[in-house]
Amino acid sequence: MLNDTEFYSLFRGHLDAHQFDCIDMQPVFAQRGVKKLRISRFDPHANPFANRLIAKALSKYLEKHPDLLRRKPQGGVERRTSWMQTTPGLQLPRK
């Protein structure tokens, strides 16, 4: 998943269509091998190194967009969860 460009491209399109802010980590992750980003071959979750990359990107993004820290959320978690559950064509790839 960490370097699946097709999935992230589709996912980004859905986020843009619904006006969600998103930090695209794909270019950062694509520069590194999957083995450097995941916990193990049996656990594909991001490891501490990948989490540091994410934290650095998030920090840079918020520095460039300080208004996001002041903006009040619109809608609620229920709405966002509902959108993710009902978006046609948005499926995690099975590997």
The torsion angle over the Cα atoms of residues 2, 36, 61 and 63, rounded to 10 degrees, is 160
pLDDT tens digits for range 6-63:
887 888 899 999 988 888 888 888 888 888 999 998 998 899 999 999 999 999 999 9
Cα angle, residue 72 at apex, residues 66 and 78 outer, rounded to 5°: 125
Domain span at residue 23 reads 5-71
Question: Is 12 within the bounds of a domain?
Answer: yes
* CB 3, CB 34: distance < 8 Å: yes
Question: Is 85 within the bounds of a domain?
Answer: no
Question: Is 80 within the bounds of a domain?
Answer: no
Give the C-alpha separation, 61 to 23, whole Å.
7
Give the C-alpha separation, 63 to 69, whole Å.
10
Say which residue, 10 or 95, is predicted with more confidence. Answer: 10
Write down the pLDDT at residue 69: 83
Q: How many domains does the structure of the chain reveal?
A: 1
- Quote the pTM value: 0.62
